[in-house]
A = this chain, B = another copy of it.
Amino acid sequence: MKTVILIGANGKMGKAALTGLGKHKVITAGRSQDGCDYQVDITSEESLRKLFKEVGHFDAVVNTVGVCEYATFEEMTEAQWMTTVMSKMMGQINIVRIGQEYIADKGSFTLITGILNLKPIPFAIADATTSGAIDTFVKCVAFEMPRGIRVNSVNPTVLAEAWDVYGDMMPGFQPVPSTLVGKAFERSVDGFITGQVILVDA
């Protein structure tokens, strides 16, 4: 049994990840503490450091948080770009950058991206661009990890459980059940793979 910090546990993607972490001790964290063990803001180095110190020993971090703004490229402002960059991209880099100081030997980080960098749709240019950045980041940073630490990303298509919200934006996409996405997180946490983008698509 591993101790796993799940960031974004309240969200639909967090709940999907949780379905794959059943054999572990899961410590939950979220932007609001609401129902979670800890509150954390991934855009803040200080907030992340506080979380990792307070948890103490942990073997894995699974992140499902990444705030994205949606607009046409023409209408997306610099501020909207930066909200997305600072959360989905730099926030996730922060998790690995700071977390590597605290995580146990042979620990793992699993980040979240999303299919829109491979299957573009309107309004999602910032989401897609930052997903591309994080998928690249995990492929490259894996070679630098000390002490057997691993880094992967899960890049899922839309969840069946979120189809009522996103379905209209995503014509021709086939949603997948949360439990299938949970398997991807399980494969990252319990496998030996590193530097991998685990695609979950139908």
A contacts, CB < 8 Å to B: 45, 72-74, 76, 78, 81-82, 85, 89-90, 93-94, 96-97, 100, 116-117, 120, 122, 124-125, 128-137, 139-141, 143-144, 146
Specify which chain B residues have a CB less than 8 angstroms from the CB of A120 in the assembled complex.
139-140, 143
Chain B proximity of A38: nearest CB distance (Å): 22
Chain B proximity of A114: nearest CB distance (Å): 12
Q: Which of B122, B129, B139 contacts A133 (CB 8 A)?
A: B129
Of A96, A120, A134, A135, most B-chain CB atoms within 10 Å: A120
Closest residue of B by beta carbon distance from A139: B120
Specify which chain B residues have a CB less than 8 angstroms from the CB of A143 in the assembled complex.
120
Q: Is the pair A90, B85 in contact by a Cβ cutoff of 8 Å?
A: yes
Specify which chain B residues have a CB less than 8 angstroms from the CB of A129 in the assembled complex.
93, 133-134, 136-137, 140
Closest residue of B by beta carbon distance from A77: B97
Q: Is the pair B74, A100 in contact by a Cβ cutoff of 8 Å?
A: yes
Specify which chain B residues have a CB less than 8 angstroms from the CB of A136 in the assembled complex.
117, 128-129, 131-133, 135-136
Q: Is the pair B122, A140 in contact by a Cβ cutoff of 8 Å?
A: no
Q: Is the pair B137, A132 in contact by a Cβ cutoff of 8 Å?
A: yes
A94 to B131 CA separation, bound complex (whole angstroms): 19
